[in-house]
Structure 1
Amino acid sequence: MQIVKETAFMLKVTAFFCLFVFLIGPSYAKDEYYLTLRNNKVNLRQGPSFEHPIKLVYKKKFLPVLIKDKSDNFRKIIDHENNSGWIHVSQLSKKKAALNNVDNSIIFKRPSYYSKPLALVEKGRLCFIKKCEVKWCKVTSGDYTGWIVKSSLWGKIK
């Protein structure tokens, strides 16, 4: 009888622990987030160390990248073309930037389609984010500052 009680107690403790880990664990998991490239030349490596070979070289300062994972001082990233690899943290910046991912987006004077259009933005154009609202982001691209539809941007728009 004593063995049955001990077994039942252990099953309850195990079930509680599993439920606790299942419900609470994901809240401690690191979410994906965006950073930008700090320099005009940044190496994307096949693995998380300087010993791993260079996969490709980025040549665009402030290009946004999505951080997926980390290992010591390296971050696993995915870019707007779905290239993935590892970049050293010294090559990453918190500057808010995004790429226009729609052909011929329009920068408006105010966050409304009825506002005055200021510029036409080509696909792949880098935009620096000033602030974002529900559906619009205030951006600077080249000599133009205005509002662009948030859904047309890829990068740090929060």
Structure 2
Amino acid sequence: MALKCYWSVAVLAGVFCHVGVTTGHAAKDIMGPVSGLPMPRYVSLKSDHVNVRGGPTKDNDVSWVYTRVGLPVEITAEFENWRRVRDSEGSEGWVYHSLLSGKRTAVVTLKSKDDLAPLYDRADPASAVSAKLQAGVIASVKRCSAGWCRITGSGFDGWIEQQRLWGVYADEKID
């Protein structure tokens, strides 16, 4: 177990801590202090214009803007109506909660940007390949089990090895 402490930018918030396993898996026994939902957890962006701030208030400067609706992000902290999120590149910042959706999405990740990830008809590498996806493709996650996820997107629907996705935890089951 590891103790994680987060300094809040807001003076009144002070410091809040939680104890958890730092393996990257969602620890279901750690609940967000505001939402009561598990933390960390994956969500997606509701809009194609999401301001990311340096701290959990509108008084903080906008650090950057996400422009991809459906992009998966991981909530790592909560403060009032703000959520600290991390993206697939490891960048972190604060987003207003209403700009996030509980809809599960994932982004295809590959070792090399030139590689393609096979999408199969079934959760079996011996089944037919229905598509090949580039790194960075965003897909809706329909279900995950036994190391495979069924994903859909514009012009594709099939099964991919779970390890090729960012937006689902290793061995996470989604129904």
Q: What's the counterpart of residue 14 of structure 1? A: none
> Residue 156 of structure 1: CA displacement?
3.6
Local SS of the residue matching 1:99: strand
- After superposing the two structures, state which structure 1 stretch, 92-101 or 135-144, moved more: 135-144
After TM superposition, what 4+ stretches of structure 1 lie above 2 angstroms from structure 2?
A: 25-31
**CA-to-aligned-CA distance 1:7-34 (integer Å, 9 cap, x gap):** xxxxxxxxxxxxxxxxxx7685333101
Contact 1:64-1:156 within 8 A present in 2 as well = no
- After superposing the two structures, state which structure 1 stretch, 143-152 or 29-38, moved more: 29-38
Q: Which has the higher contact order (CA 8 A, sep 6+)?
A: 1
Question: Larger % of helix: which?
Answer: 1
Q: What's the counterpart of residue 124 of structure 1? A: 136
Structure 1 or 2, whichever has the larger Rg, is 1
For 1:8-157, what aligned pairs fall within 5 Å after superposition? 29-30=30-31, 31-102=39-110, 103-156=115-168
Q: For 2:159 and 2:144, how far apart are their aligned partners in 1? A: 9
**CA-to-aligned-CA distance 1:18-52 (integer Å, 9 cap, x gap):** xxxxxxx7685333101100101000000000110
Q: For 1:28 and 1:140, how far apart are their aligned partners in 2? A: 30
Q: For 1:66 and 1:117, how far apart are their aligned partners in 2? A: 30
Aligned AA for 1:79?
D
Aligned AA for 1:106?
P
Contact 2:162-2:168 within 8 A present in 1 as well = no
Q: For 1:28 and 1:38, how far apart are their aligned partners in 2? A: 27
Contact 1:34-1:155 within 8 A present in 2 as well = yes
Contact 1:101-1:154 within 8 A present in 2 as well = yes
Aligned AA for 1:40?
D
> Residue 134 of structure 1: CA displacement?
1.1
TM-score (norm 1): 0.80
State the superposition RMSD in angstroms: 1.5
Q: For 2:74 and 2:127, how far apart are their aligned partners in 1? A: 32
Q: For 1:90 and 1:68, how far apart are their aligned partners in 2? A: 16
**What are structure 1's unaligned runs of at least 5 residues?**
1-24
May I ask how many residue pairs the two structures share in their alignment?
134
Q: For 1:74 and 1:124, how far apart are their aligned partners in 2? A: 26
